[in-house]
Structure 1
Amino acid sequence: MTTGFTVIRDTTPAADIPRGAVVAMGNFDGVHLGHRAVIDAALRMGRAHGKPAFAVTFEPHPRSFFSPNSPQFRLSDETSKLRLLAGTGLDGAVVMTFDKTRAGTSAQDFIHHDLIGRLGVSGIAVGYDFHFGKGRAGSPSLLVSEGPRLGIEVDVQAHVDIEERPVSSSAIRMALAEGQIDEATAMLGGPWFVSGAVIHGEKRGRDLGYPTANIRLDKNCSLKHGIYAVRVGRGTDRFDAVASFGRRPTFDNGAPLLEVFLFDFKGELYGTVLDVAFIGFIRDELKFDSIDALIRQMDDDSTRARARLAAAPDAFPKLGVIG
């Protein structure tokens, strides 16, 4: 068995790839409950046969390759995805570069060259709707039919429903775009989070009594503009906080920015990478007629955020260490 969480890439020497692993295959954007069902199936298979269990995933997201000019709101970038995968108990991940060559690889060639030839897999777990290979010709049914002949165990997981609604990355994106944080959290199996380095801003927050840590999110992030109760991670430290994501209409109506006020914290954070987990939606972004009105609202926002966080004392995504 491997130790730690190993990341295998196209450039990894064959000698460094553990043979006989069980793999869970998917794009795993967000690593939501549907993905975790596939991962859990791979973990069970691996334990039953004494084999390591890996995720097989693709970067960049295939949708970005096929539609480069269409904005894509990713729930988790590559690093965040790997940290989430590392928190599931998997032994590692195989990150395959999705480029013109891989897009043109037939399903049969992918099975024989990538899965068997390079990885030497002994088992495969996939979701019911996972497709692969040129023209998406590869399907769960193809893997099931080919598995016995190739000596590979195949497990196909059905969709996961919450209140009769299928869990999917698209449904989670929609929930976040509508500010439905509880709904997104339920489908993810934990809070949605973002990571980023703290940058210098206009420093207005200091004058208002609310100095903020500012983080620029991906330009395609479609999170609803508004005020949120959040929990912040810095390494193993955790801080309760209130955050604003939006354009600051009271001041400049500029580019979207995440501004986080950490409760009961003193110190500098510039350049520090923070994890910000979204626990609850407080209100829509508003424009205020006066600074005093804004400060009164910020005081109320903080009170509401503290109460929301007190009701969710342990809420934070389970993240593992890569490498």
Structure 2
Amino acid sequence: MTALLQLIEGKVRHGKRLGRTIGFPTANIATSASCIPTNGVYGVEVYLKNQLYNGVMNIGNRPTFNDGNHQTVEVHILDFQDSIYEEHMNVKIVFPIRPEKKFKSIEALIQQLQLDVQYARNQFKSKALRGVS
């Protein structure tokens, strides 16, 4: 998985709130970027309100939910609960996690998301220990 674009920016818009229902609320980014990276899951740094956060971003069509063939850009910010609708967000891709895929059930998706978040946490921790910015 190779990212074509390292920075995505846009406003946080209301989505279908599906992530919230499964324990992984996401910020849906309305971006005007014409060149979005390959569909998949990425570890990201989120710049929001002059603060830096770590997160996990999905770019794709959400095939497990089977809700249409439209591409979304969604970010789950780690350890974050604030309402940020209409806020401007910059998202820097730091590392790829996995390609997007369809899961057999919502439960299988949740299990994979838990693994994705743990992988991202480990990568960010390792990066911090190495002093990489």
Same fold (TM over 0.5): yes
Tell me, in whole angstroms, the C-alpha distance in 1 between the residues paired with 2:51 and 2:111.
29
AA matched with 1:248:
R
AA matched with 1:202:
K
TM (norm. structure 1) is 0.38
Higher helix share: 1
Unaligned regions of 5+ residues in structure 1, if any? 1-178, 185-190, 316-323
- What's the counterpart of residue 83 of structure 2? 268
- What's the counterpart of residue 210 of structure 1? 24
SS at match of 2:13: coil
- Runs of 4 or more consecutive aligned structure 1 residues displaced over 6 Å after TM superposition: none
Greater relative contact order, per chain length (Cα 8 Å cut-off, separation 6+): 2
Per-residue deviation at 1:250? 1.0
Tell me, in whole angstroms, the C-alpha distance in 1 between the residues paired with 2:84 and 2:48.
10
Q: Tell me the percent identity.
A: 34
Unaligned regions of 5+ residues in structure 2, if any? none
Tell me, in whole angstroms, the C-alpha distance in 2 between the residues paired with 1:303 and 1:241.
11
Alignment CA distance shift 1:213-1:222 (3 Å):
closer
- What's the counterpart of residue 285 of structure 1? 100
- What's the counterpart of residue 294 of structure 1? 109
TM (norm. structure 2) is 0.88
Describe the superposition over 1:73-129 as per-residue Cα deviations: whole angstroms up to 9, x where unpaired: xxxxxxxxxxxxxxxxxxxxxxxxxxxxxxxxxxxxxxxxxxxxxxxxxxxxxxxxx
SS at match of 1:259: strand
Higher strand share: 2
1:1-323 → structure 2 map (5 Å cutoff): 179-181=1-3, 192-218=6-32, 220-251=34-65, 252-313=67-128, 315=133
Tell me, in whole angstroms, the C-alpha distance in 1 between the residues paired with 2:60 and 2:68.
8
Alignment CA distance shift 1:196-1:219 (3 Å):
closer
Describe the superposition over 1:192-246 as per-residue Cα deviations: whole angstroms up to 9, x where unpaired: 2111100000001111000100002336324100000001011320111111001
Per-residue deviation at 1:253? 3.8
Higher radius of gyration, 1 or 2: 1
Contact 1:217/1:257, CA 8 A, preserved across alignment: no
Tell me, in whole angstroms, the C-alpha distance in 1 between the residues paired with 2:82 and 2:43.
21
RMSD across aligned positions (CA):
1.8
SS at match of 1:312: helix
SS at match of 1:231: strand
